[in-house]
Amino acid sequence: MDDFLFSDEPTDVTETEQSGSWKVIIVDDEPEVHAVTKLALSDFEFQKKKLEFLSAYSGEEAKKVVLEHPDAAIVLLDVVMETDDAGLKVAQYIRETAKNNNIRIILRTGQPGQAPERQVIVNYDINDYKSKTELTAQKLFTVVMSSLRSYRDILSIDQSRQGLEKIITASRDIFATHSIEQFIEGVMQQLTSLLGTVDEAMYATSLVASNEPDSSGEDLIVFTGRGEFEKCEGKPIEDVLNDEQYLACKKALNEKTIVYKDNYLFSYCSSEYNHASMLFVSGIPEFLTDTQKHLIEIFSQNVQLAYENVQLQAEIEDTQQELVYRLSEALEMRSTDSGNHVKRVAHICHALAVGYGLSNREADLVRIASPLHDVGKVGIPDAILNKPAKLDEDEWQVMQTHAKKGYQLLRDSRREIVNAGALIARDHHEKWDGTGYPKGAKGEEIHIFGRIVALADVYDALRHRRCYKEAWDLPEVVEEINNQSGMHFDPKLVAVFNDIIDDLEAILARFPDKL
């Protein structure tokens, strides 16, 4: 029998360089218990990690240590310390106050009769209950090993849950600019859960598709990463890997396979589009089962498919935007107005929408749909559209019909962008005080998209030459728009306009009229 508890020769354990450790909190009011526990577990190792011991000599001290080290794996907890139930209060504190449900609590007592085992297990969320007299070195080794396995599995489940949450969020918010990064991070967390332990991960991809079998990988760019690679986005892959890792990466890329090294792997990611892409994971277990290797392969391909699916979605949205721009610019060419008006208005609308407090999706929607604001002019004769002089009453009545024509042309679409364009076409000539057209709507009866485009359209038109006028200077434009606050324009939008005027002027400079 290994009666180690009676040893009175505490030994300091020499720290060795390692990639990590399991934290074990020893809570006992007897220093000898701390010493012999450390001695008995001095050569303990699990998944190539040793134990890191943290000591507390009272219940109150234990509570502080638990709060300072929420990543501790095990607490070896004495029941009787400053009070007969001090250890039980610590166990209750860990679960109910500190909200730490991961740490494994092993209760140790020298007076088991004072806290009956069945009562303790029923009333407190503890994971094991041992009498000090029965806890030999071998039994302590066994209980610590089983507790660490439980702790590892709990972390794995938690990582899986977090990964699933991120994947669900990314699926729901697929149009958000950050969704692809969030999706890939979620998949990496799932891979971490699968392997039990992963220190670092990184996903790199090329900017273009490549079918070259001898591609060197020099065009691979880090897309997202965890651990050491978390801040490496946008860097060439050869700049973030050491020589040995880079050779393994090139081998995986050239052979289109998975390359396993001592504690890391490179997995080539292929798909229908054959982008050159690579998944790097380090800190993997030394021995992987065939099932784990198969799942790694599946995960690798899912990462690439997810990347390209979202890229395809972005391509579709960019294509829609370009078509809207080109059709709108074609309408602009019917008049003497030169191009880029619709692009300027689109970006001005986005800036105003963000400043007004609309969501990112709504701001993007008004940006994409705003070029359709004058689509109804397709039904206006050239003689009226390009008349350099002031329109007479009859001509003005014809010109006003373009708002209704645009709405009728675009309404009742199944596409969100087209429906937004219909509302904008209908409302962008309405005025806050109700004196606009086509319906004389006023205040918040006017759709917010229409109010935004109204201000953006007038601001851009005043700042540029038209067939019937010269461009106005900025102070004149600002004065005019402020004079129209509460009359033509939504006062809140005018306040936003004043706050971001420098940003709006920068947009005009980015998209000058074409000569």
Architecture of the domain made up of 333-510: Orthogonal Bundle (1.10)
Give me the residues of the chain with pLDDT under 70, please.
1-19, 111-122, 160, 162-198, 207-218, 270-275, 289, 291, 301-322, 325-326, 328-339, 467-468, 514-515
If we measure between CA atoms, which residue out of 254, 252, 223 comes closest to residue 237? 223
- Hey, which residues does 259 pair with through a beta bridge? 266
Architecture of the domain made up of 173-303: 2-Layer Sandwich (3.30)
pLDDT at site 71:
93
- 173-303 and 333-510, same CATH topology: no
Please give the Cα distance from 61 to 29 (Å, whole number). Answer: 10
What tokens were used for 276? 């050159």
Give catalytic status of residue 377 as yes or no. yes
Residues 6+ apart with CB under 8 A from 437: 400, 403, 429, 430
pLDDT at site 291:
65
| pLDDT tens profile 43-62 | 999 988 999 999 999 999 99
pLDDT at site 495:
97
pTM above 0.85, yes or no: no
Q: Indicate the domain borders of the chain.
A: 4-154, 173-303, 333-510
Domain 4-154 listed as CATH 3.40.50.2300? yes
- Hey, which residues does 26 pair with through a beta bridge? 55, 76
Query: Which DSSP string do the residues of 16-53 spell out, in sequence order?
Result: ---S-EEEEEEE-S-HHHHHHHHHHTTT-EETTEEEEE
- Peptide bond preceding 438: is omega within 30 degrees of 0, i.e. cis? yes
Please give the Cα distance from 389 to 382 (Å, whole number). Answer: 13
If we measure between CA atoms, which residue out of 335, 437, 339 comes closest to residue 383? 335
pLDDT at site 18:
42
Q: Do 128 and 106 touch, CB atoms closer than 8 A?
A: yes
CA 154 to chain centre: 24
Q: Do 423 and 447 touch, CB atoms closer than 8 A?
A: yes
- The arrangement of strands across the sheet holding 200-209 comes to 221-226, 200-209, 275-282, 264-269, 258-260
In 45-134, DSSP assigns E strands to: 45-46, 49-56, 74-78, 104-109, 128-131
pLDDT at site 77:
93
Judged by DSSP in three states, 352 sits in helix
The catalytic position among 377, 404, 405, 431 is 377
What tokens were used for 73? 């794996």
If we measure between CA atoms, which residue out of 277, 248, 282, 249 comes closest to residue 263? 282
